[in-house]
Amino acid sequence: MAPPRRIAHVDMDAFFASVEVRDNPALAGKPVLVGSPGKRGVVAAASYEARRFGCHSAQAMAVALRKCPSAVVIPPRRERYVEVSRSVFEIFSRFTPVVEGLSIDEAFLDLDGTERLHGSPRAIAEAIRAAVHSELSLTCSVGLAATKFIAKIASDRDKPDGLTEVLPGHERAFLAPLPVRELWGVGPRTEQILRRYGVRTVGDIAQLGAATLERDLGEHGLHLHRLSLGIDEREVTPGRERKQISHENTFHDDLRTRAEIEDWLLRQATRVADRLAAKGLRGRKVHIKLRDTAFTTWTRQRTLDRPSADTPAIFAAARTLVAKLDAEGLLRGRRFRLTGLGVSELTEGRAPEQLALGDMLGAEGGEHKGEVVQDVLSEVRRRFGDKALFPAGVGEE
């Protein structure tokens, strides 16, 4: 029998906020929010000092500032975060060539076969944390396990600057007391269905049995049952070819207006752009997906003039697609439970492929004067404040 795999999930702690504090030591010890103070701004990252007041990423900035009026708000510097991210991933690559980046600030590392060079998986995790701290003056948290999804859950157990190892054979004991929403794929509606059976924890799912879960949730139910038993056979896949990078959200409170839909697509465009930039990719085709409360799904797509990893360009295409759906009468009288945005036809490119403001406005070296770009810049300023060319993303941490 092959020995159990050892996989690490490394997650940078409050990455955007931590970079800002590192670059400006005067912020040390203060509650810091990365985002825009604009009326419709969203928190991209909150320092741990701000989190003590109830602030968190993906929160409306207005809500965060009500919870913590003394917070220092800093506009996001996406190019800076990508630059620091490259240094972080360079440290990862010293210990294993098998690194799968999930986003700009987290990755899976396959540690199988590395013991002779670098020691035990736990020793490697400690060495990574030490290198990140000593070389970059940042902290990260690490989860160690035999599967990807347990390693990811474990990395969140002891934040910030922590290490949690789930030893082989202890997976079910680790998972059993966790709330069901900790499992990938359990949103508010799935959790509601599970509650009908008195299911509150991952251990309850394991006890419920596969047949019941399959009857009510189909293949998704079988998937959840396998996860509850600690079964996840996915490999760490570095540099895997991606056909599409996408992000979607299912909402507890349905969306009722076009403005609400566009707000979420803007957040999703930012998240997708971050992931494209982190992977050094650009995309040519933008897709959106809307699903209403009757579970009817609409998808639309639009091809860009050129491949891009640029938030305004991606959002411009998405907003055009929403306008078409609206013109077709498909938004009126409906409530929407899900929105999604994706970019496909991916090619390798500069990371980030982010246009400077001068380029967008036709300054020397750039002639991008199109009305769509102007409209998008105005929209970003309106929703995220005058200083936020690149709006805050959702769930970067």
**How far is residue 345's CA from residue 367's CA, in Å, rounded to a whole number?**
25
Give 254-263's long-range contacts (Cβ < 8 A, gap of 24+).
Answer: 254/293, 254/335, 254/336, 254/337, 255/335, 255/336, 255/337, 255/339, 256/335, 256/336, 258/322, 258/326, 258/331, 261/290, 261/322, 261/331, 261/336, 261/339, 262/318, 262/319, 262/322, 263/40, 263/383
pLDDT tens per residue across span 301-315? 999 989 999 899 999
Report domain extents, the chain: 1-168, 172-228, 244-354
The pLDDT averaged over each successive group of 10 residues in the chain (397 residues) is 85 97 96 84 92 92 94 92 92 93 92 89 96 96 96 95 96 95 82 89 91 85 91 83 79 89 94 85 93 86 92 94 94 92 83 36 34 42 43 39
The pLDDT value given to residue 393: 37
Structure tokens at 183: 């499992």
Consult the annotation and say whether 359 binds a ligand. Answer: no
The pLDDT value given to residue 190: 84
* Contact of 62 with 73, CB cutoff 8 Å: no
Structure tokens at 101: 């980046």
Task: Give 98-142 as a DSSP string.
Answer: -EEEEETTEEEEE-TT-HHHH--HHHHHHHHHHHHHHHHS--EEE
Of 7, 9, 11, 8, residue with least CA distance to 160? 11
Question: Per residue, what are the HEC states of 160-204?
Answer: CCCEEECCCCCHHHHHCCCEHHHCCCCCHHHHHHHHCCCCCEHHH
Residue 110: other Cβ atoms inside 10 A: 20
**How far is residue 259's CA from residue 264's CA, in Å, rounded to a whole number?**
9
The pLDDT value given to residue 185: 77
**How far is residue 243's CA from residue 345's CA, in Å, rounded to a whole number?**
7
Structure tokens at 332: 């009126």
The pLDDT value given to residue 242: 60
pLDDT tens per residue across span 224-248? 999 999 999 889 988 655 678 989 8
Residues 6+ apart with CB under 8 A from 28: 21
- Judge: domain 172-228, CATH 1.10.150.20: yes
Is residue 349 classed as helix, strand or coil in its secondary structure?
A: coil
pLDDT tens per residue across span 128-168? 999 999 999 999 999 999 999 999 999 999 999 999 999 99
Of 391, 105, 81, residue with least CA distance to 267? 391
Homologous superfamily assigned to 1-168: Reverse transcriptase/Diguanylate cyclase domain (3.30.70.270)
Is residue 329 classed as helix, strand or coil in its secondary structure?
A: coil
Of 103, 130, 101, 99, residue with least CA distance to 114? 99
244-354: CATH class: alpha beta
Place of tokens 């987290």: 106
Structure tokens at 100: 């799968």
- Rounded to two decimals, the pTM is 0.65
The pLDDT value given to residue 347: 86
Active site residue 371: no
Q: What percent of the chain has pLDDT over 90?
A: 57
> End-to-end distance of the chain based on CA atoms, in angstroms?
37
Between vectors from CA 333 to CA 330 and to CA 334, what angle results, nearest 5°? 70
Task: Give 17-30 as a DSSP string.
Answer: HHHHHHH-GGGTTS
Of 197, 128, 192, residue with least CA distance to 163? 128
**How far is residue 275's CA from residue 341's CA, in Å, rounded to a whole number?**
13
Task: Give 200-247 as a DSSP string.
Answer: -BHHHHHHH-HHHHHHHHTHHHHHHHHHHTT---PPP-TT---SEEEE
Consult the annotation and say whether 105 binds a ligand. Answer: yes
Q: Catalytic pick from 20, 49, 100, 106?
A: 106
Place of tokens 């509606």: 189
